[in-house]
């Protein structure tokens, strides 16, 4: 039985993971801004958490830690998105994206590390995205935030070598969730982008609807938790996106990568 702290447990990958882990006997402290959205399940402990405020975030984590005694696993999963031209991204919009995907999760990593050092070990699983390597057009802030978190995760892997704490970068490709329903779309008020934004959105939405269900990611997270020696980076999703495309792109020059992504999204 593991004691798990999981952000974004009320929907998508987080909800599927909470159900799987609690269902198999782990104790899960699952977070949401609105705990009424969390399912009522044995061994799932609701935690109200707003990632926009690092101060209250720390207070919520410490309160959950006090209740749990310790956490064997901390899963940074919650996220949000924005769809529109990078040219018109405001500083505020970028900051909001980075606060949710990067700054808040870095703070949770810091808190988790302090607790795990005291306890003698543990695992942190940062759910980033394949978009950190294969960016999605018109999701510049999201791509950059996920890439930043992936880079931070790799830095921790270097620095924690030899300790009993493992940090894993889990990168989902497209997964069929309600993520797109919460994304605001805009062409930035510039008609030069309107057709491109609409076309790219149709491709993105079509891919997501045809993608594997979040239970696939939940099972992969469970396998990472159970593995004696988990890999530092795990990619999960459909075969082309999660296996073929990343492998091919590793060997291509940037010019060809950009060309390939433009063809893929019809730009």
pLDDT at 210: 86
| Mean pLDDT to the nearest integer, 170-183 | 83
131: nearest Cα among 114, 144, 112: 144
Query: For the ranges 2-16, 111-125, 154-168, 180-194, which has the lowest average pLDDT?
Result: 180-194
pTM recorded for the entire structure: 0.92
Whether 84 and 138 have beta carbons less than 8 Å apart is answered as yes
**Percent of the chain residues topping a pLDDT of 90:** 59
| Mean pLDDT to the nearest integer, 184-189 | 76
Number of domains, the chain: 1
pLDDT value at 240 more than 80 = no
259 token code pair: 């060309």
Tally Cβ neighbours within 10 Å of residue 37.
12
pLDDT at 111: 96
Q: Where in the sequence is the domain holding 209, given as residue range(s)?
A: 3-265
pLDDT value at 263 more than 80 = yes
196-228 b/e (C-beta count within 10 Å ≥ 16 → b)? bbeebbeebeebbeebbebbbbbebbbebbeee
CATH number at residue 130: 3.40.50.720
CA distance 26 to 19: 10
* pLDDT tier for residue 225 given thresholds of 50, 70 and 90: very high
Mean pLDDT rounded to a whole number for the chain = 91
Q: Give per-residue pLDDT as tens, 63-122.
A: 999 999 999 999 999 777 888 999 998 999 899 999 999 999 999 999 999 999 999 999
| Mean pLDDT to the nearest integer, 144-159 | 96
pLDDT at 188: 75
């Amino acid at each position: 039985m593991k004691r798990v702290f999981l952000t974004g447990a009320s929907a998508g990958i987080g909800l599927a993971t909470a159900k799987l882990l609690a269902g198999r006997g782990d104790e899960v402290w699952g977070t949401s801004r609105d705990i009424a959205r969390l399912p009522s399940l044995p061994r799932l402990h609701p935690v109200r958490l707003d990632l926009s405020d690092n101060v209250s975030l720390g207070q919520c984590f410490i309160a959950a830690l006090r209740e749990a005694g310790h956490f064997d696993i901390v899963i940074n999963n919650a996220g949000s998105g924005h769809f529109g031209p990078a040219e018109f991204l405001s500083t505020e919009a970028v900051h909001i994206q980075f606060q949710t995907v990067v700054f808040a999760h870095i703070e949770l990593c810091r808190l988790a590390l302090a607790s795990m050092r005291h306890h003698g070990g543990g695992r942190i699983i940062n759910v980033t995205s394949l978009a950190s390597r294969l960016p999605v057009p018109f999701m510049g802030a999201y791509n950059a935030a996920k890439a930043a978190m992936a880079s931070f995760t790799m830095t921790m892997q270097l620095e924690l070598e030899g300790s009993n704490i493992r940090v894993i970068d889990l990168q989902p490709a497209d997964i069929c969730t309600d993520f797109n329903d919460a994304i605001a779309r805009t062409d930035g008020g510039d008609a030069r982008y309107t057709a491109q934004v609409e076309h790219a959105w149709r491709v993105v939405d079509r891919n997501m609807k045809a993608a594997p269900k979040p239970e696939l990611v939940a099972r992969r997270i469970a396998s990472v938790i159970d593995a004696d020696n988990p890999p530092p980076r795990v990619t999960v999703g459909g075969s082309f996106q999660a296996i073929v495309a990343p492998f091919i792109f590793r060997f291509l020059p940037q010019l060809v990568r950009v060309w390939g992504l433009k063809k893929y999204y019809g730009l």
